[in-house]
Amino acid sequence: MFFKKNKFQTLIFLLTFFIIPQVSLAYSDKIIASGETVGIKLNTDGILIVGSYEINGHNSLVEAGLKNGDVISKINNNEVHTVEEMVNIITDCNCNNLKISYIRDDKTSKTTLPLYEDKGVLKTGLYVKDSVSGVGTLTFIDPETKYFGVLGHEIADATTGEIIDIESGTIFDSKITGITRSSEGNPGEKNALLYSDKVEGDVFENTNKGIFGEYTSEIDTSKLYKVANIDDIEIGDATILTVLDGVEVGEFSIKITSINETKDKLKNIQFEITDETLLDKTNGIVQGMSGSPIIQNDYIVGAVTHVVVNDPHRGYGILITNMLEEAEN
């Protein structure tokens, strides 16, 4: 009797084992390659310290042992997420110092931040912010999952160079109003109007491979591009999709000069701009072009991420598969 029962259980186990599906990536074989310029707003996970100033010879940042790039998470044992919350606590506390919890290198510490009076007002002597905004290019939308990717690289704090930890964010409509041309040693930029009330998607991640989230607006699936693996990409002619004026996406020629599966999965594609119209307008790659999809043979192969500062006609891109894999994490 025992043998029969054990045999039955073994059969069930074996059947269960063999019907477990193999783990596979969930992104689609064909996706939307956008090239649209979008505004980006990221809300920091806490209040980010970006600088300090002296009040009557005192520097509260130094006295409290804080540094630029530290993130304030609690004040007087109250969780804080916005600068407005910080101001309200200072206004209502009737105190000369604040008990601060802050995060540095993923470790939470505590300190006391002195307040000093300046023209009858108590001040911290800190420059802080709770959000960052910018302009970039929407690389892809997966029509099945609605996941999107922007930039192909992180948004980092200008003071510390560290990736900004975020709580939430949005992408929204933007319109290019002009171009500041690149020159040797000085990358140009897209100048844009931002329409933060016209939200296109919610951001959930800021990583070194891009800004990722869920697209919430309507999508156009009339033109889909096959997702290229590294073996599908060739040295030679390709194009990028980007906006140079208004909201119209244009297609411009480039030449891929090398392809590498780097250990950090960044700067996989080297290329140079060959399109005369683009060069006349921008003199190469400009800020705001990050995320522009790279297209070859009806594949989306990657996205523009970096410019060679001393030669703005040349730049780097990330493989599209590296962005798609990151979007799923």
Cβ neighbours, 10 Å, residue 180:
16
- Report yes or no: 196 and 43 within 8 Å, Cβ to Cβ: no
Q: Which of 199, 191, 150, 148 is nearest to 173 (CA)?
A: 199
Catalytic-labelled residue, pool 34, 60, 70, 153: 153
Alpha carbon of residue 278 to chain centroid:
25
Q: Tell me the DSSP string of 164-209.
A: PPEEEEEEEEEEEEEEE--BTTB-EEEEEEEEEEEEEEEEEEEETT
DSSP H/E element including 263: none
- Helices then strands, counting H and E runs in the chain, come out as 5, 21
Candidate list 45, 165, 275, 311, residue with the active-site label: 275
Of the residues 290, 292, 306, 313, only one is catalytic, namely 290
Name the one residue in this structure whose structure tokens are 């703005």. Answer: 312
- Check if 165 is active-site: no
Return phi, psi of residue 45, to 5°.
Answer: -85, 75
Rounded Cα distance, 238 and 251, in Å:
10
Active site residue 105: no
| Active-site residue, 313 included | no
* Catalytic site positions: 153, 275, 290
